[in-house]
Amino acid sequence: MIEKNYLKTKPECKVKFALPIEQIEGAKKVFLVGDFNNWDESATPMRKQKSGVFSSTINLEKDKQYQFRYLVDGTTWLNDESADAYAQSPISHDQNCVLQL
């Protein structure tokens, strides 16, 4: 799930990324990985909420496109069903999520 809130005072968008518990049941750690953090697999940890959902909120420059995926427990890559689009990954046969701001 992706929520976008455009800021009035800056050319940025506050983006909340969330993974429902059904998609990540039993997960210990989830990271948000994308071109906004140079695909650093530990740069943007997601926090587990009381409901069991993992979420993270970051500010991103608007009028840009970003690719991202979720990394669960260091081994499983997941996409977000609410992504704006998908693009072929340059390093694997997988597809990356695309976020358009």
Q: Residue 70 corresponds to which tokens in the numbers above? A: 């979720």
Q: Which CATH number fits domain 2-100: 3.30.70.260, 2.60.40.10, 2.30.30.180, 3.40.50.10860?
A: 2.60.40.10
The torsion angles phi and psi of 41, rounded to 5 degrees, stand at: -70, -5
With a threshold of 0.75, does the pTM exceed it?
yes
What are the residue ranges spanned by the domains of the chain? 2-100
Residue pair 27/54 in contact by the 8 Å Cβ criterion? yes
The mean per-residue pLDDT over the stretch 69-92 comes to: 94
Query: Which residue is it, tokens 């704006």?
Result: 84
3-state DSSP assignment of residue 67: strand
The mean per-residue pLDDT over the stretch 41-56 comes to: 95
45 CB-side CA count, 13 A:
9
Q: Assess whether pLDDT exceeds 90 at residue 91.
A: no
Q: Per residue in 14-30, pLDDT tens?
A: 999 999 888 888 899 99
Task: Please tell me the predicted confidence (pLDDT) of residue 20.
Answer: 87
